[in-house]
Amino acid sequence: MADAKATTTKYRPSTEEKKKVEKLESRMGEMKKAKDDQNLEGDWNKWDTLYFPRKIYRKDAKDWQSKLHNPQVFAYVNTSVSMLIDQRPEAILEARSREAQPKEPVLKGLYDYTWEKGRGDVELYYVLMSAGIYGTGIAFEGYRSDVREIKEAKRDEEGKLVRTKAGKIEYDKNTIKEFDDVYWRNVDIRNFYIDEMATNMQDARDCAERFVYDLDTFKFKYPEKRYSKAKHVKPGGDTEEKSEKKYHIDVGRDRIEVWHYYNKVEDSFQIWANGIIIKDSPIPYHHKQLPYIRMPFYPRSRSSFWAMGLAEILENHSDQLDTIINMRIDQAKLNIYRGFMVGGGELIDEEDLRLKPSFLLEVNDINNVVELKSNDIKPSAYKEDGLIMESMKYATGIDPRMEAISQGGTATEAAIVKESSLRRIKIVLRLLEKEFLANLATMRIANIQQFYSIPRKVNKVIGESGVEKYESEYREVRMKLKKVDVDGETRYRKTEKDNFFEVTPDDIRGNFDVKIRPMSTIPVSKALEDQQFADFFIRHAGNPHIDMRKLTEEDLKRKGLPMDMLAEDSAEGQGMIVLAEQENMQMAQTGEPIPPTEGATPEHTAVHEAFMQSDQFKQVPPQIQQAFQEHVSGEKGAQTGGYNEQGTLPKDFMKSPQRVNPAEGMGAPNTNRAQM
C-alpha cells in the first residue's frame, strides 16, 4: 500500500484529509486481506499456466525429458467464448409511463450507437475470456473524456507554411477530444477489490480499482487543470504489475499507484494517488450504484462472489494429460536414442555411442557392447488420453470439436446432435443475459440520460425584440431515426438511411425498464438458422396476422442485402406471395405438378425457391421435385423474356389452373386465367 509520509514532503494535508487517507488505507487493507486469505491471486496465476501455451515444470526432470503442456484448457475456453461472443446484447426498453413510450426508439438507438463507438464487442470478448479462465469477469461502465493537446503547422492565407527567420516551421497548439462519451471496459480482476461480505455487485457496499501509471500517463489522465492536487503527487507506492502485465518489459520509468474507491453507502468517490487524495466527491453517476458489473462463469454458491472457470474445473484432467503425454514422449526418445552396456575392456566414451547416419564404431569384441532394448509404445498407451478427454467433456459439457459435428445427414439431425452438446453452456448464457448484460444496459441507459442531457455549447442570441437569450446545442449522432410532428407532439420514426439526429434532454427523458431480449439462444449453425427461418417464411407466408414486409426485411438482413431492394407495398405483390405458398402446399401434398404461374413476380418465385431448400422438400418424391424445378424455371424464364435456363420456352408455359387472384385476396376466383 502507499506510504503517505514518504511522498508528501512538500504537500501539507489537512487533519481531515489525513483521517480520510488513514481510513482509505485501512479499508484497502481489509479488502486486500480478504483476497489473500482466499489465495485468489495464487489460484489465478495457476490458471494462467494452464491456459497459456508454455513448458511445464517437472520436479527432478532431466534436460532430455519432455516438458510440454497440452492446450486443452485453451481450446475449451475459446470454444465456449466463441459461442457466447456472438450473443449481441439486444436491449429492450419498456417505458414506465405513456409519455415516455414514444422515446423508446431514441434510447435504443443511442444504446446501439454507444456500444459500437466504445467497441463493446471487443470488451465483451475480454470479459468472457476472464470469466472462462478465472471464473469471474468484471466490467466498468462510465463516462470518459480524453482531451489531448496537439501541434499543427501554421499556414498563411495562401496555404503556405509559416516559418521563422531561422527557417523553422511555426506551430499552433490546439486541443482535441479523442473520446468523449459513455463507454464500458474490461477490468483486470487482480486489480479489483470488492466488499468482502458481498455476494454480487448489487449488495456490495464499496469497491476499489487499482491502476499503475508512469509519470507521463498520470499527468495526461489527471491534468492539473481538473485535479489541482495532482501536482503534489510523486512517483511511488506499490507499483508492482499484476499478472496480465508482468510479462511486459520494465523500462525503468517512474511509476505511480492510483486507486479509485467507490462507497455506495456513503455516496462517496475518491481518487487516491500514492497517498494523496486528488478527488473527493459523491459518486459522479446519477444512478448512484457501484459502476461495475460482474460476469460469473460457473457460480460456486449463492454466497460466493468469485466463481469457477474452466481452468479450475479442468486442472486435474490437464495435469494427468500432461503427465501421460510427456512420459510417452520420454519413452519414444529412449527407444530412438537407446543406451548401451559396455564391457570394462573397451575404451569407449559416451560420444562414441551417440547414433548418427553411417554410424561406425570399432570395438575389440562385439560381445562387449550390448544395446539396451526397451518396449515400443503400444496403441493401448493412447487409450488413456481418450478417457481423460471424455472426462473433460463430461465435466464441462463442452466439446471443443463441436463446430465440426455435422458430417452428413439433414440440418435438423445436425441440430439435435449439437443441441445436446450446448445444454451446459446455456447456463453461462443465461448468466450473461440476466446477470451481466441486463445490469450493464441499465447503467448505460442511465448514463446516456445523464451525459447526453449536458449541452455541448451554449450560444447567446438576440431575439427580434432585442432581448438576449441563450440557446443550447446538444450532441448529434447518426441514427436511423427522424423527428416528426404529429398533432403538435414530437414523434420518432425509423428510416432506412442514417440521419444526423440532435439529441435533446426531451428526447431521452423518462423512466425505463431495461431487459435483454428473451429466448436469445446460441445458434446451432448459421445454415440451420437460415433453414429454420426459410421454413418459418414459407409456413406463414399467407398468415394474415404476419407482416410480410417485416418478414421480408428480416430475410434481406440475414442475406446481407440492401433494404432498397424492397418494392412499394401493393395488394398484388402480397397476393403473389400468398399464391406461391398455396402452390407449394398443393404440389407437395397432392403430388400434382402445376404449370408456371402467369405474371409471377420475383417475390413469388423466391417463395418457391425457399421451399425447395427446406427439409420438407427433400422428403417429396423425385418427380415432384422435378415439377418444382420446371415450375420455377418457367417463371424465371417469363421474368427474363420468356425463356428458361436452357434457353427454351417450357411446355404449357402460360397455362395454370384456377387459383386465387392475387389482386383480389384469398378465396376470390380468378376468371381471367387460362384453364387446364
pLDDT tens across 454-479, in order?
998 887 777 777 777 778 889 999 88
C-alpha cell of residue 458: 451554449
Please, which residues have CB within 8 angstroms of residue 128's CB and are 6 or more apart in sequence? 80, 81, 84, 85, 137, 295, 432
Among 373, 403, 423, which residue terminates a domain?
423
pLDDT digits (tens, 9 = 90+) for 241-250: 665 444 444 5
Asked if residue 554 is part of any domain, the answer here is yes
Distance, CA of 616 to CA of 63 (rounded, Å): 63
- The CA–CA distances, whole Å, from 382 to 7, 304, 328, 378, 644 equal 61, 39, 9, 8, 59
Find out whether 171 and 179 touch, Cβ atoms under 8 Å.
no
Asked if residue 675 is part of any domain, the answer here is no
- The CA–CA distances, whole Å, from 147 to 177, 220, 674 equal 4, 8, 74
pLDDT grade for 3, boundaries at 50, 70 and 90: very low
Asked if residue 326 is part of any domain, the answer here is yes
Q: Give the mean model confidence (pLDDT) for residues 663-674.
A: 37
C-alpha cell of residue 612: 425447395
Predicted TM-score of the model (pTM): 0.72
How many other C-beta atoms can be found within 10 angstroms of the C-beta atom of residue 177? 10
For residue 263, pLDDT beyond 90: yes
Asked if residue 329 is part of any domain, the answer here is yes
Number of domains in the chain: 2
Q: Out of 59-63, 256-260, 401-405, which region has the weakest mean confidence (pLDDT)?
A: 401-405
- The CA–CA distances, whole Å, from 424 to 79, 84, 297, 396 equal 13, 12, 11, 7
Please, which residues have CB within 8 angstroms of residue 203's CB and are 6 or more apart in sequence? none
Q: Out of 200-214, 283-297, 526-540, which region has the weakest mean confidence (pLDDT)?
A: 526-540
Please, which residues have CB within 8 angstroms of residue 269's CB and are 6 or more apart in sequence? 260, 261, 262, 263, 279, 280, 281, 282, 283, 284
Q: Give the mean model confidence (pLDDT) for residues 532-540.
A: 74
pLDDT grade for 604, boundaries at 50, 70 and 90: confident
Q: Out of 64-78, 360-374, 401-415, which region has the weakest mean confidence (pLDDT)?
A: 401-415
Predicted pLDDT of residue 460:
76
Please, which residues have CB within 8 angstroms of residue 339's CB and are 6 or more apart in sequence? 353, 371, 372
Q: Give me the count of residues in the chain.
A: 676
pLDDT grade for 666, boundaries at 50, 70 and 90: very low
- The CA–CA distances, whole Å, from 530 to 403, 499, 534, 614 equal 17, 31, 6, 10
Asked if residue 466 is part of any domain, the answer here is no
Q: What value, to the nearest 5°, has the Cα angle with vertex 17 and ends 13 and 23?
A: 135
Q: What is the CA radius of gyration of the chain?
A: 35
Among 423, 442, 471, which residue terminates a domain?
423
**Bridge-partner residues for 599, per DSSP?**
none
SS3 550: helix
Asked if residue 654 is part of any domain, the answer here is no
**Range(s) of the domain holding residue 619:** 526-639
C-alpha cell of residue 635: 417463371
For residue 407, give the DSSP letter: -
Find out whether 460 and 449 touch, Cβ atoms under 8 Å.
no
| 462 class by beta-carbon count within 10 Å (0-12 exposed, 13-18 middle, 19+ buried) | exposed
For residue 434, give the DSSP letter: I
Predicted pLDDT of residue 514:
86
C-alpha cell of residue 176: 482535441
Asked if residue 558 is part of any domain, the answer here is yes
For residue 435, give the DSSP letter: I
Please tell me which residue, 398 or 566, carries the higher pLDDT value.
398
For residue 525, pLDDT beyond 60: no
pLDDT digits (tens, 9 = 90+) for 96-111: 888 888 888 999 999 9
Strands lying side by side in the sheet with 292-296: 171-187, 136-153, 292-296
Find out whether 369 and 340 touch, Cβ atoms under 8 Å.
yes
Q: What value, to the nearest 5°, has the Cα angle with vertex 70 and ends 64 and 76?
A: 170
Asked if residue 337 is part of any domain, the answer here is yes
Please tell me which residue, 652 or 319, carries the higher pLDDT value.
319
For residue 424, pLDDT beyond 90: no
Among 423, 447, 472, which residue terminates a domain?
423
Distance, CA of 439 to CA of 424 (rounded, Å): 23
Grid coordinates 466498468 are at which residue? Answer: 140
Taking the chain, what is the end-to-end CA distance rounded to the nearest angstrom?
92
Predicted pLDDT of residue 622:
85
Determine how β-strand 91-95 pairs with β-strand 512-516: antiparallel
For residue 85, pLDDT beyond 70: yes
C-alpha cell of residue 275: 497517498
- H helix or E strand, kind and range, residue 274: none
Q: Give the mean model confidence (pLDDT) for residues 201-230.
A: 91
Predicted pLDDT of residue 665:
38
Q: Out of 196-205, 280-289, 517-526, 608-617, which region has the weakest mean confidence (pLDDT)?
A: 517-526
